[in-house]
Amino acid sequence: MKADVTTLEAKKAGSVDLPDELFALEPRADLLHRMVNYQLAKRQAGTHKTKGRSEITGTTKKMYRQKGTGGARHGDKKVPQFRGGGKAFGPVVRSHAIDMPKKVRALALKHALSSKLKAEKLIVLEDAKSKDGKTAALRGALTKLGLTSALIIDGAEVDDKFAMASRNIPSVDVLPVQGINVYDILRRDTLVLTKAALEGLEARFK
């Protein structure tokens, strides 16, 4: 499968072959949904915490005698139904991460790449480099390419000046090829791969 290569100046720079095993799959929404859930669950901090009745500071003395008061039976004041008492079944510090096989994660990435190509939201750049690291110049170049919401994937190392120039452009993310993931691909409208990124992906799944 052939794809045109373009430059940041919106000029043609030849074409490349897109491997069918990465870009010719029929996208499965259920697989992409599972992967996004996996990523979002894994990144949750899980540091929420409330105190149970055993963790509340206070006396354990019985409030009043068991019988003869006309009120309900109670022990100490640390029970959940009183103000200042412990929380019943409250959140505790834990990991929200769920399990997903490595092969399924790899397959989900292939389906995400295929979904962008099928939706005609994939652009192949010759390279992602900036001469002066100026945001205004890069914004103009991206506008000329019709990019308002994009994930730009470069090779093993991202050009420092390009990363600096893109930092203040909203809805534009720049990642090295080893950081490519399903969630970031789907959250942006267009996927932009450099030729170096394509080579890295082919080597990764070979």
**pLDDT tens, residue by residue, 56-109:** 999 999 999 999 999 999 999 999 999 999 999 999 999 999 999 999 999 999
Give yes or no: residues 54 and 40 share one domain: no
Give yes or no: residues 158 and 137 share one domain: yes
Give yes or no: residues 80 and 115 share one domain: no
Give yes or no: residues 107 and 21 share one domain: yes
Q: Specify the CATH number for the domain of residue 32.
A: 3.40.1370.10
Give yes or no: residues 103 and 137 share one domain: yes
Query: Number of folded domains in the chain?
Result: 2
Give yes or no: residues 180 and 140 share one domain: yes
Bin 32: left if φ > 0, else alpha if -120 < ψ < 50, else beta: alpha
Structural domain span for residue 41: 2-45+98-204
Match 């080597």 to its residue by tokens. 203
Give yes or no: residues 86 and 156 share one domain: no
pTM of the model: 0.84
Scanning the chain, the segments in alpha helix (DSSP H) are: 20-23, 29-43, 102-118, 135-144, 160-166, 182-187, 195-204
| pLDDT surpassing 90 at residue 39 | yes
Give yes or no: residues 161 and 82 share one domain: no
**pLDDT tens, residue by residue, 97-110:** 999 999 999 999 99
Give yes or no: residues 35 and 114 share one domain: yes
